[in-house]
Structures are given as structure tokens and as C-alpha cells.
Amino acid sequence: MAATANGECLGWAARDPSGFLSPYEFNRRPVGSDDVSISIMYCGICYADVVWPRNILGTSKYPLVPGHEISGIVRVVGTNVQRFKVGDRVGVGTIVDSCRECEYCDDHLENYCSKGSVHTFDAVDSDGTITKGGFSSYIVVHERYCYNIPENYPLELAAPLLCAGITVYNPMMKHNMNQPGKSLGIIGLGGLGHLAVKFGKAFGLKVTVFSTSISKKEESLNVLGADHFVISSDQEAMAALTKSLDFIINTASGDIPFDSLLQLLKTTGVLVLVGFPSEVKFSPMHLAPAARSVTGSITGGTKQTQEMLNFCATNKIYPDIELIPIQYVNEALERLIKKDVKYRFVIDVANSLK
């Protein structure tokens, strides 16, 4: 297929709210003194790659090149770059810039930047152009927002960690879910949920997976290593777990029964939302008397993202992926909508984007 614009960067872009992706050529901004230019080897597929190309939020700017789970090799470094050299293995996640001046940036929580962090695609870049993501041959990013991928960690497996991985790792660390012997419930067993199980087991937690589908039981217990599996619609099984969990992470975006889930938490237990239900509704009687908390979380800052990558390498935590050529991306997105993937699609960019 012919591209619709000329430029030295090859990518796949959506041109309208159909979200259909096809080849596209464009120009990246020049490499600045603090920038790193990265040859993209792999890019994971996130549900954001459905939402933004289809303009579900009503803010998309076309042509739109998605992708924010990027792993690759440094090809050029700016004159002031200290942390990277040509040939280094690096990753780029959901943000590529922030103000670098506010209290959150000072704490390396750039994802909460007071002035708004700059997303890897469909945002305004430092030069005024619109950022374009990892469904492309290379990317230019300020070195602050790049991560070292440990030498012993496969690049294709590192890609999903840059969004799915950090999205569950961040709240687990923030709420002290790394205490061996504590109990964790996980709602949803997709790209985020399966990594939450792996992190939970690496932390020494007792992990219970909640699902609406019995078909997830075998995978949860015998492949991912969860300790328990519960059908969330089974009222008797749910009642048996009353006040048994220290933490619950909800990775699902469908509506969930908050009242019945809150009752599963011990006193001072925490329910974290990393998925986005259409509403959050529960009785205060299931919250206040037991000092329980309901909170939300998104991705993570630069310091914690690097810590997570190092943790995964040290503990041999690997996402389960299906590697695909970029020519299959539209079919993959349709399968993602149908939850027909175990558990993350990763595009083999370097070998298929020619």
C-alpha cells in the first residue's frame, strides 16, 4: 500500500474515526542536544491503541500513529546526553515529556505533571508538532523519558512492561503490596491482570483471581501460578472470602459490584482501580467502618518505571505475548476488543515495517 505523505519515518496511521491503520510516511523532529533517537524494534498493543485511533474520547488528531509500549536500539544521541550511547537497548512508555519543574516532576512522578505530561502519541510535542507513537520505524525522545532495558531481558518482552507492567506495578508499590504473606485479589485476567498475578507471586503474596469466566481457571492456577480462582458471580464463594484480602486490584473496565468486593477486604484494606468502570458506586457502610480505601492509579514516573524493568529482569518476570507483523495490526485490534489474546500483542516492527 502506498503511503499518503512523504517523510523519512515509516509508520502505520489512522486517518479518521474508523481507526483503520495503513502505511504512512512522516518526518520526526530533529534530534536535540538532550534527545535520543531510537530504532524501534518492538511495540506492544494497548487498549489505548483502540480508543485514540477511533476518536472515542473525541480529541484525536489525524493522521494518528499509535503505540506507547516501545523497545528498541539507540541510533543517535544528542550532544548533552549522558545516560545513553549508540547501540544501547532502551524503552519508551506512555509519556515523552513533562514540565520538569513542578513538585511531581521533581519527585520523578512525571505522569502526574501539574502542567500535563506529553503523551507518546496524539499530543503536542516540544516543537509544536503532534507526537506520533511506536507503530513506526524510529522515535526521537528526550533522554529523561527513556529507560535502560537490562541486557538479559528480551526486547520483545520488555515492550508491554512500559504500559501494562508499570500500570499494575506502580500501585502495588505505592500501597505496600510487596509484603510476603499478604493476600491480593485481582479482577480481570488480561494484559494488566496477568502481570499483576506475576508481580504478586514475585512479592510472595497469596493471589486470588476473580473472573466471570470459568475458562480462565486453568490458566490462572496452573499457568500463571495464582493460589485461588473465584467466579465473581458465585455468591457463596464470594461470601466465603469476606474480610480475607489485604488488597484488590481491578484491571477491568467493565462495571463491577463494588459493595461485594469491598466486603472481601480486611480492615484498612485497599481497592485500587487501574481499569475504568463507567461509574464507581458503593455504600459508605462497606468503607468507613473498616477504614477501607478505594483509590485509582495510572502508569508511573520515570524512576519507578526503571525500577520495575530492573525488578522484572532480576526476578525473571515475563509478560505472555503474541508476536505479530505490523501488517496484522488491524486484525489484532479487533481481537483485542474481543479479548482474544493471551495476553499482549507485540508488533515485530523491525522485521515487518519495511
CA gap 110, 72 in Å, rounded: 22
Ranges in the chain, pLDDT < 70: 1-7
pTM for this prediction? 0.94
Phi-psi region at 54: left, alpha or beta (left = phi > 0; alpha = psi -120 to 50): alpha
User: What pLDDT sits at residue 2?
Assistant: 32
User: What pLDDT sits at residue 33?
Assistant: 96
User: What pLDDT sits at residue 6?
Assistant: 57
Contact 174, 238 (CB under 8 A): no
Please, what is the Cα angle at 129 between 124 and 134, to 5 degrees? 80
User: What pLDDT sits at residue 233?
Assistant: 87
User: What pLDDT sits at residue 254?
Assistant: 82
User: What pLDDT sits at residue 212?
Assistant: 86
User: What pLDDT sits at residue 276?
Assistant: 86
- What is the torsional sign of CA 86, 89, 90, 91? positive
Beta strands in 198-312, from DSSP E residues, in sequence order: 206-211, 228-231, 245-250, 265-273, 293-296
C-alpha cell at 17: 474515526
CA gap 132, 154 in Å, rounded: 24
Domains by residue range for the chain, with CATH:
9-163+300-352 (3.90.180.10), 165-296 (3.40.50.720)
CA gap 230, 239 in Å, rounded: 11
3-state SS assignment for residue 194: helix
pLDDT digits (tens, 9 = 90+) for 58-101: 999 999 999 999 999 999 999 999 999 999 999 999 999 999 99
User: What pLDDT sits at residue 76?
Assistant: 97
162-185 residues labelled b (16+ CB within 10 A) or e (exposed): bbbbbbbbbbbbebebbeeebbbb
